[in-house]
Chains A and B, each alone.
Chain A
Amino acid sequence: KPSPTSEANPSPGASPGGAAGSGKDFKFGMVTDVGGINDKSFNQSAWEALQKLGKDTGANVKYLQSKSDADFVPNLNQFVKGKYNLTWGIGFIIEKALKQVAQQNPDAKLAIVDNVVDLPNVTSVTFAEQEGSFLVGVIAGLMTKTNKIGFVGGMDIPVIKRFEAGFRAGIKAANPQAQLITNYTGTFDKPDLGKSAAATLYNGGADIIFPSAGATGSGVFNEAKDRSKAGKKVWVIGVDKDQSVEFGTDITLTSMIKRVDEAVYKICNDMIAGNFKGGQVTNLGLKDNGVGIADNSNINVPEDVLKKVEEYKAKIISGEIKVPDK
């Protein structure tokens, strides 16, 4: 594979040391989708990683929020034309824009999260969300009392379908009796719709809901909080980050973690160290610790269930179980 070497990027000062603290000459840019850096999801994770990087290495980090899809290209170009060392495009939907910019600027280096752009100057990071979802599916399947489990999706699109497919498979593996009810709200940024979807699902008998819907998902937490205040015990499974931090462990059963932050941090740090690899797709699954369940899951999930989860995890890593992604 023709991998462009560092001579294309005239910043040799960084290569010798490669250690933290030597990134002062580096500039990292990040373009969010319309969700912005407080989406409690991948944009936020990625931006937190960049901020940490800035603190750790002294690198210059900056982000641009897109106000509409039409902003993707000019925003990416703002960094590219500003000679940023690496420009991130965060989110599935930015793919075509990033591809276009990468093609037009073969000397620039770009990276994308959640989607693949197959170009020598782009590195792509994707996650096997279905694998992590499988594990929380197991937990849900084993812990449901009503044998009804809910899934609230943002938009009906392939990434979210991966979550649903893995979750469904996990439930089925652990508890074939349990029924999965899904509700797609059609948006990633409307907590009110998430809340009403959750209300309907809980009313319909579900006692655990796994939202994969960005900010819409926080509506699911709000509904659960309402119900638990009224004395009805229901659970939510967090997504992307450990959401018990924000919504508390009394309603957050566990969370399916997606380590966007680690991936972003690592790739930037690699670049400072002089080994950026373009044209590469990093698919992070259970075995790379790219996805998984929250560390504090033991608060609400009993020991024996967690043991089952570990068993399934091992089987997935070994390839014995192949988790469907559709």
Chain B
Amino acid sequence: MGRLIKVTSGNTVLVPLIAILLGLLTGAVVMLIGGYNPIVAYAALLERVFGNIYDFGETIRQITPLILTGLSVAFAFRTGLFNIGAEGQFILGMTGATLIGDQVSLPAYIHLPLAIIVGALLGGFWGAIAGWLKAKRGVNEVISTIMLNWIALYLGNYIVKAFLLEPGMQDSRIIKSTAILSVDWLTNLFDGARVHWGILIALLAAYAFYLILWKTKQGFELRAVGLNPYAAEYAGMNVGRNIMKAMFIGGVFAGLAGAFEILGVFHYQSIASAFPGYGLDGIAVSLLGMNSPLGVVLAACLFGVLTYGSAGMSFAADVPPELIRVVIGAIIFFIAAQAIVRLIIAPFYAKRNKAQGGS
């Protein structure tokens, strides 16, 4: 309880809020320079997200993978690693889910969990490769994850093309209905939006993130290794194995995100020429959320609302949707450079303190 108060009081809440405000303000200025009306644009953005239940549902759909890739990056950060590889882990998650969804025939209560688990494990495996490279061969994880992303992209394409292709098409067959995660009544509730149970699991994953790192023996080791590998080694922890575990767990989060995209949203996998982008966005989400599970969830919501809403902004106000990247960038900028925000709010504080002192 005391901890909760500490987290939600004072600057920890005020600074991000003001950063968001400043970010939106930056976007508004850029729009004004471009001759657009920011009020109309932001209204259109909100309208798109909250205007009807369908779009609201789709926004949730957009948020789900962002939470998970954000957790993936944040988990690695917490253990002293920089995971640029959520992108590749995500793709392997998709591929695993599609493979199981297409190739296996099982009753739904086994098929669906199996598809999710295999997707998650493949994502974890892909992360663990980078972990292994670092632990055993001293390969910087930044390089290896960048390379593994590209390898995953083409590996995924190859698997789709070689084993899963719908003849004459550029994507896989639709997975079997027993592996589909979409929930009809939920979709109907949201007027056809592709909402699925993944959001619930993503929130559970955030909680699991917290439990693993701060409540378990394993998490104690992971954090110790992340903060000071030499002391961890001294204390008898196996640094290499913990690095691999950390990357594995991070990969599982990203793999889950990929699996849900297939099982809950697309139901098929395309041969892609470019990355889905959730992995790189996950870096931003994780940083925006200051690498804490609750922060990541909130950041993913903000991120998802802004990106999904940007289409409405461009539709109704003709503002190029890329503007929203400027807004997100500015928000992260102000959160990162908190000193600026404090500089801005300092006068208000001073005034308030004076007022209090006087009374």
Contact = CB atoms under 8 A, between A and B. Distances in A.
Interface residues of A, number: 30
A67 B154 CA distance: 20
Contacts of B273: 154-155, 186-189
A203 interface: no
A73 B194 contact: yes
Interface in B263-286: 265-268, 270-274, 276-277
Contacts of B169: 92, 95, 158
Interface string B166-207: 001111001000000000000000001010000000000000
A78 B261 CA distance: 21
A315 interface: no
Contact of B62 (A65, A70, A95, A189): A70
B311 interface: yes
Contacts of A188: 273
Interface in A86-114: 92-93, 95-96, 104
B268 A96 contact: yes
A158 B54 contact: no
A34 B271 contact: no
Contact of B168 (A75, A78, A155, A158): A158
B311 A78 contact: yes
Nearest to B312: A78
A34 B270 CA distance: 13
A70 B261 contact: yes
Nearest to B62: A70
Contacts of A95: 169
Nearest to A325: B168
Interface in A44-96: 62, 64-65, 67-71, 73-75, 77-78, 81, 92-93, 95-96
B315 interface: yes
B55 interface: yes
A157 interface: yes
B320 to A, nearest CB: 10
Contact of A67 (B55, B268, B312, B321): B321
B141 interface: no
Contacts of B267: 96
B214 to A, nearest CB: 33
B171 A68 contact: no
B100 to A, nearest CB: 19
B102 interface: no
Contact of B276 (A68, A74, A104): A68
B271 A74 contact: no
Contacts of A104: 192
A189 B273 CA distance: 9
B174 A74 contact: no
B221 interface: no
B87 interface: no
Contact of A69 (B62, B270, B321): B270
A134 B70 CA distance: 49
Contacts of A62: 315
Nearest to A74: B58
B170 A93 contact: yes
A70 B308 CA distance: 11
13 contacts: A62-B315, A64-B315, A67-B321, A68-B276, A69-B272, A73-B58, A74-B55, A77-B192, A93-B171, A96-B268, A154-B273, A187-B274, A188-B273
8 nearest CB pairs, A to B:
A187-B273, A157-B170, A74-B58, A158-B168, A104-B192, A93-B170, A155-B273, A92-B170
Given A69-B270, A74-B308, 18 more contacts: A62-B315, A64-B315, A67-B321, A69-B266, A69-B276, A70-B62, A70-B261, A70-B276, A73-B194, A74-B55, A77-B192, A96-B171, A96-B174, A96-B266, A96-B268, A154-B273, A186-B154, A188-B273
